[in-house]
Amino acid sequence: MKTMKKDVITLGILIAILPPIWAVASPYLGNSVGPIALICAGIYATNGNNFKDAHKIALGYLAGDIWALIVTYIMSITPFNANLTLFVLLAVFGFILVIISSRFENIIHMPSWLAGWAIGMLTMNLDTMTPLTSLTVQIAVAMLVGVYYVGALLDKIHRIWNKR
């Protein structure tokens, strides 16, 4: 059996400690959607753990959360066929998202915007008891925790620990 590398062991230890702290603490902090942080940390990690991109990834998530709020609200008040309305909203908002994020790729991260939108829509469709504005804020907080705490901070500690 191969000896595990120090960086794998230290990463395992950090993953075993930091995300569970958020998972346990989030409900006590008023956040009922804490696991979203882990999803959002995944995109941060697949982007190479590049802290220089953290802000545009975070902005993408927040934009997706707002997109989800708008679409969910429109869907709740529309008098038209729900499937047709959803199709049109997804098409129009998706097109606009691609145009904006392509034009401002140095400011906003398209994959996190798309993922944030999907995460927001799914969460808002599953949780119909929490007021929409409260849920939107909770989703945004969990997304930011995913990028900056589970993603960037964990990576920074991991790099420092492995330099010793």
pLDDT band of 164, cuts 50, 70, 90 = confident
Sequence-ordered list of residues with C-beta below 8 angstroms from that of 4, at least 6 positions apart, any chain: none
The pLDDT tens digits of the residues spanning 89-124 come to: 999 999 999 999 999 999 999 999 999 999 999 999
pLDDT of residue 138: 98
C-alpha distances out from residue 135 to 45, 54, 75, 114, 138, Å: 25, 23, 16, 18, 5
Chain CA centroid to CA 63, Å:
10
At 1 the pLDDT is: 43
What tokens appear for 122 in the block? Answer: 């799914």
CA 50 to chain centre: 16
Residue 2 has pLDDT above 90, yes or no: no
